[in-house]
Structure 1
Amino acid sequence: MKTTNPFHGSDLEKIEEIYHIPKEEIVCFGANVNPLGFPKQVSDAISRKLSSLLERYPDREYRSLREAIGNYCGLSNEYILVGNGSTELLSLLIESRSIRHALQIGPSYSEYERELSLSGCSYSEYYLDQDTLFHPDIHDIIQAIKRENADFLILCNPNNPTASSFSTEELRVLLAACRKEGTFVMVDETYAEFSQAYALAMPLIPYFDNLMVIRGVSKFFAAPGLRLGYGACSNVEFLSYLRKVQNPWSVNSVAAFAGEVLFSDSSFIQKTKALISSERDRMIQRLSEIPELTVYPSDANFILVKINDPAHSAFSLFDCLIRQKLMIRDCTSFPGLRGEFFRFCIMLPDDNDRLLDAIIRFFH
């Protein structure tokens, strides 16, 4: 075995190959997916219409889907663009902006760097300070934008893996400054629905035409296999261009119909928010009682923790837990994190108890 973790948060096949543990028996705390699973109401609705959905092309304009998303986000459907997962929209956006120099707020999701590299543009990173609990310093970021002469800014809010977030008012200040500097801002809100309402960029869409917010259904609605993403932007001229260069029918009929139902399932949405909020508070409180750990505040459905005891590493904890069929994420591979970090998402209470007990035993 190596002494560093080569695994992605959901790479169960590699775990099965190396540890010889059937992947079906592993409780995956590394993928950040809603533990309630895909909503049964939506699954039943798809089953009833599956044949008819597969027998026809989706609406090329995705009118009903965009209307459902617009209602969910409180926006006009003319501001909505749908795609084959948020990854397609991220790629489409970066390719379409003719970026001179991009600034990425990190540590964060590696796909941003990959897409920027593929586009051939120059880019740099601004790392959040762990000594201030990764809370963003808006005015320092604005100075970095000016210093780097960046015409494109990428931030994940809440951020992965730090679980920290910009408030809506902080984003308003940042966007105003970026507009003045001629900087376009992409906000990845993959985890926004797990956060509080005060940490959203979506309500700012009508007021800033230098902003695009991207979301997907993989995490909150536990549907990574659907590959359904959506973006919002009030720059209708730019959106029109994106639709022109986007491949037609990039969202299949099943995903389009599922989205129409998903965004109106208020019972599932409220149940998820209540579960994540209560379990997040409980787990942070229990882990904070372990002196060897620093537990960071979280606005997402996952928690970032630093190991302060040099006798232990994130990989040794990972290795100990996976042998108990509990999979966390060793975060030491994230650039910008100094020290030994691990991250885990919030699952159902019984699974969370298993993880907490196992971590406590490891350090005592």
Structure 2
Amino acid sequence: MEYQHGGDIYTNSVTIDYSANINPLGLPEKVREALHEAVENCSCYPDSRCLALKQALAEFHQVPAEAVICGNGAADLIFQIVQAVKPEHALLIAPSFLEYRQALLAVSSEITYFDLEEKEGFRLEEKKLEKWIEESEIHFQMIFLCNPNNPTGFAAKREDMAKLLDFCRKKGIFCVVDECFNEFLQEPERYSILEDLQKEEFGHVFLLKAFTKIYAMAGLRLGYGICFDRKITNRMEELRQPWSVSSLAQAAGIAALKESDYVARTRELIACEREFLKEKLLELGFFVFESMANYIFFRDMRQAALEEENLLYKQLLERKVLIRSCGNYRGLDGTYYRICVKRRKENEEFISILESVCREMPCGCSPMPEVRG
């Protein structure tokens, strides 16, 4: 199977990886300590119900523990929720995270796409989507909404999402809201629908979150969902394998939830370094979209790049630098890329290498279509 995501440091010879959107501060020290302690109990089976972790998450988010379900990363839960609902016809926003499509194909769902437009910066306009659903006259059973979206990094505000979710409720559409990158936003609560979930009318919503990115725990695989429809979560519990979350991941998750200072420092770092990278990319002649997350979405408009697929990806890989080509996203091609945000020293090194690429082949860029702000 072809590797379709960022972080493929196993196939490629890489010294600098800008393709995976992981917290540049690395694993929190207290999480590392919790892992060392948990190693002593590795001869025992993990708690298949994740009781302590669920309770910690319930207290952290101020929700009942029975509304929380844990999984082997967010991807595990994406497949579980699709298996639980088994939609005959699902709606996907494009471009967006590839795993949604894979999960839907696994249950033979018919998929229809709502394509975001480049002239609008690939931003989701909720009213336009609602109008399109009305006019399509298709009875969708499920929709995936990634907020902030991956790979574009743009986030819809909470009140706009709430209106869209209410519209979907009236249409009988089950909503999966992916907020795995929400914690990187400057004001995450302004964009999260978490507080709305406990309203009776939001029982049709499954909120997806993960420890992977914000706590730099990608290798441990730990995600979780919050849903107030007990039929859905019970069905997911029936479908999942009993020990999908290791004892190491559970211990790390409980410790990570106490790292509030670490998260605050992360947001400050990302906000500063994201703007630094955007400015440098613009100076080099790339077209940069308005990402709000810990990654930047941009386009290489050099004439040579328009003529050769994944040109920038190849040029950087020759220098042992890995970036995420977005050519395998629907609606995009090999001129679109996503890079993560790291610390200043690393970012300066990356930009220096990128500058050397541009010196060899200057950015005599073709005009972009006008993008609405």
Please confirm whether the aligned pair reaches a TM-score higher than 0.5, indicating the same fold: yes
Native 8 Å contact 2:148 2:181 kept in 1: yes
Q: 2:194: which partner in 1?
A: 202
Contact 1:227–1:255 under 8 Å retained in 2: yes
Aligned: 1:13 with 2:2: no
Matched, 1:152 2:147: no
Q: Deviations over 1:223-253 (max 9, x none)?
A: 1121111000111232223223322222111
Query: In structure 2, do the counterparts of structure 1 residues 7 and 77 end up closer, same or farther at CA, with 3 Å as the change threshold?
Result: closer
Aligned residue in 1 for 2:216: 222
RMSD of Structure 2 on Structure 1 (CA): 1.9
What is the distance in 2 between the residues matched to 1:72 and 1:322? 41
For residues 62 and 116 of structure 2, the distance between their equivalents in structure 1, rounded to whole angstroms, comes to 30
1:170 CA drift (Å): 1.0
Q: What residue number does 2:301 align with?
A: 308
Instruction: Report what 2:365 is aligned to.
Output: none
> Any residues of structure 2 matched to 1:1-364 within 5 Å, and which?
8-16=5-13, 23=14, 26-52=15-41, 54-146=42-134, 147=136, 148-195=138-185, 196-197=187-188, 198-207=190-199, 208-290=202-284, 292-312=285-305, 315-337=310-332, 340-363=335-358, 364=362
The one-letter code sitting in structure 2 at the alignment partner of 1:127 is D
Structure 1 counterpart of 2:257, one-letter code: F
For residues 249 and 39 of structure 1, the distance between their equivalents in structure 2, rounded to whole angstroms, comes to 25
* Structure (1 or 2) with the greater helix fraction: 1
* C-alpha distance in structure 1 between counterparts of 2:334 and 2:71, whole Å: 37
- SS of match in other structure, 2:122: coil
Q: The residue matched to 1:105 in structure 2 has which SS?
A: strand
8 Å contact kept, 2:325–2:334: no
User: Contact (CA 8 Å) 1:86, 1:228: kept in 2 or not?
Assistant: yes
Distance 1:15 1:338 in 2: 21
Moved more, 237-246 or 169-178: 237-246
Distance in 1, matches of 2:220 and 2:158, equals 29
Contact persistence 2:38–2:247 (CA under 8 A): no
TM-score by length of 1: 0.90
Query: What is the rounded CA distance, in whole Å, between the counterparts of 2:130 and 2:313 in structure 1?
Result: 37
Shift of 1:355: 1.6
Contact 2:310 2:334 in 1 (8 A): no
Shift of 1:60: 3.4
- Superposed CA deviations along residues 15-51 of structure 1, whole A, max 9, x for unmatched, are 12xxxxxx4xx11000111111111211112213421
TM-score of the aligned structures, taking structure 2 as reference length: 0.88
Q: Is the 8 A contact 2:327 2:335 kept in 1?
A: yes
Verify the 8 A CA contact 1:7 1:14 in the aligned structure 2.
no
- Secondary structure of the 1:102 match is strand
In the alignment, is the contact (CA less than 8 A) between 1:68 and 1:264 conserved in 2?
no
Question: Judging changes above 3 Å, is the alpha-carbon distance between structure 1 residues 91 and 7 closer, same or farther for their aligned structure 2 residues?
Answer: closer
User: Residues 317-341 of structure 1: CA distance to partner in whole angstroms, max 9, x if unpaired?
Assistant: 2222223332111212221126711
Q: Percent identical across equivalent pairs?
A: 29
Q: SS in structure 2 opposite 1:103?
A: strand
Does the C-alpha gap of structure 1 residues 101 and 11 become closer, same or farther in structure 2, counting only changes over 3 Å?
Answer: same
Query: What count of residue pairs does the alignment treat as equivalent?
Result: 350
Deviations 1:121-171 (A, max 9, x none): 111111211111122110121123332321210121111111112211111
